[in-house]
Amino acid sequence: MAQRLTFYICLILSLQTLNPFIVLIRANESNQDVNIEVRFLPENCSQKAKRGDMLNAHYDGYLAKDGSQFYCSRSTNTGHPHWFVLGVGDVIKGLDLGLDGMCPGEKRKVTVPPSLAYGEKGKGPVPPNSTVIFEVELLYITRGPRSIDAFKEIDADNDKALTKEEIKEYLKMEAKKLNTQKDESYFDDVVADVFHKNDHNADGTLSLKEYDVYGHDEL
């Protein structure tokens, strides 16, 4: 069932000092609030994250009850930022909501209730029914490779099947457009994730049906 997302801008505080530009937003879903505090907003904020975009971000996770840290992307995965597609469940629901509309260079503090985080069971170092806080820095956005339009662009030989090499080359071209230099391992990790989640028949290629994680909602 389609979910409705309503944003309430509660406070805007802009000071021409060293203090950060702060925006407080409430993202409401099923009467549960995700509280968003914009810690830093770059002067150029024309490119905004939307569902289906591929995001590259650093984030730290904390327990709201005592401030203890349970995750740090800078000390995990050899310090590489985290790759994920927004709005398709690659991250917890609260982050999918809390990062919507974010722009490259922006920093946010996102407070997520248990129902939109790790729920009644918890996960790893996160106890059951825990409110969690994420400090997020978005590095850049590129159009996610998991849409019908992107499928056509990636399918260089027009055989209606995508290989790992085709997807990797597409991601490299997108990064080049943004003048962003990334290690080969970045692209390898993204491609591995896409195939792990979508190559259901394990044939080493992705059909349009496998690749379109949005359930063909563009059709």
pLDDT for the residue 28 = 56
pLDDT band at 214 (very low <50, low <70, confident <90, very high): very low
From the list 176, 174, 184, the residue with the least C-alpha distance to 154 is: 174
Most confident of 69-83, 105-119, 161-175: 105-119
Question: Is the pLDDT reported for residue 201 higher than 80?
Answer: yes
Give residue limits of the domains in the chain: 6-142, 148-211
Q: What is the mean pLDDT of residues 99-123?
A: 96
φ/ψ of 65, rounded to 5, equals: -70, -30
Q: How confident is the model at residue 159 (pLDDT cuts 50, 70, 90)?
A: very high
Residues belonging to the chain: 219
The most distant pair of C-alpha atoms in the chain lies apart, rounded to whole Å, by 57
pLDDT band at 27 (very low <50, low <70, confident <90, very high): low
User: Coil, strand or helix: which one is 105?
Assistant: coil
pLDDT at 212: 59
pTM beyond 0.75: the answer is no
Residue 192 is encoded by which pair of tokens? 């591995």
For the stretch 36-66, pLDDT in tens is 999 999 999 999 999 888 899 999 999 999 9
When the pLDDT of each residue in the chain is averaged and rounded to a whole number, the result is 80
6-142 placed in CATH 3.40.1350.10 = no
Pick one of 2.40.37.10, 2.80.10.50, 1.10.238.10, 3.30.70.2700 as the CATH number of 148-211.
1.10.238.10
> Percent of the chain beyond pLDDT 70?
77
The whole-number pLDDT of residue 194 equals 78
pLDDT band at residue 178 under the 50/70/90 scheme: low
